[in-house]
Amino acid sequence: MVTLYLTGAISADRDDPFKWHDDLADDDAYAHIDFINPYTLNDFELGDADIYKRPHEIVNPALEAIESSDGMLVRWDDDAFLVGTAMEMKHAFDHDVPIVIWYEGWRDNLSPWILHTTRGTFDDRHKAIRVLSIFAGDTSFL
């Protein structure tokens, strides 16, 4: 079993901003993958103003989870403001954690800085997960 850290744009559904995270975890095709949703690594709610008073409680558990993961799946959407995601990607890259981008939404040219850190970009979610899983050491998709 491989562990994949999930990062990137949250879902557009305001009632369920983590829908894409949950959909992956609930999909039987990925039952052999352990997904890490960084929003579950602390007790803060989305939009909680206290994160600005105690950022270390957000960042430190995420950094540890990234370092212990086998890969990082990035849901990229050019319409989203993804500063935190870029920081997570750099940390993963610095710790030799393979990164694959699942590109959804409006597509523009990605920054060379982002491209430099990744093993590939795909607009098909299943293909992105399959490729990342192989880089992470899972041969079940071969």
For domain 2-135, say whether CATH 3.40.47.10 is its number.
no
**What is the distance in angstroms between the CA of the first residue and the CA of the last residue of the chain?**
14
pTM of the model: 0.92
Strands of 21-119 (E only): list them. 33-36, 71-76, 99-103
DSSP-based three-state secondary structure for 82? coil
Domain-wise residue ranges, the chain: 2-135
Q: What is the full per-residue pLDDT of the chain (142 aa) written as tens digits? A: 899 999 988 766 666 778 888 899 999 999 999 999 998 898 887 677 888 898 898 899 999 999 999 999 999 987 778 899 999 999 999 999 999 999 976 667 888 999 999 999 999 999 999 999 999 999 888 7
Say which residues have a Cβ less than 8 Å from residue 37's Cβ, sequence separation at least 6: 6, 18, 21, 22, 25
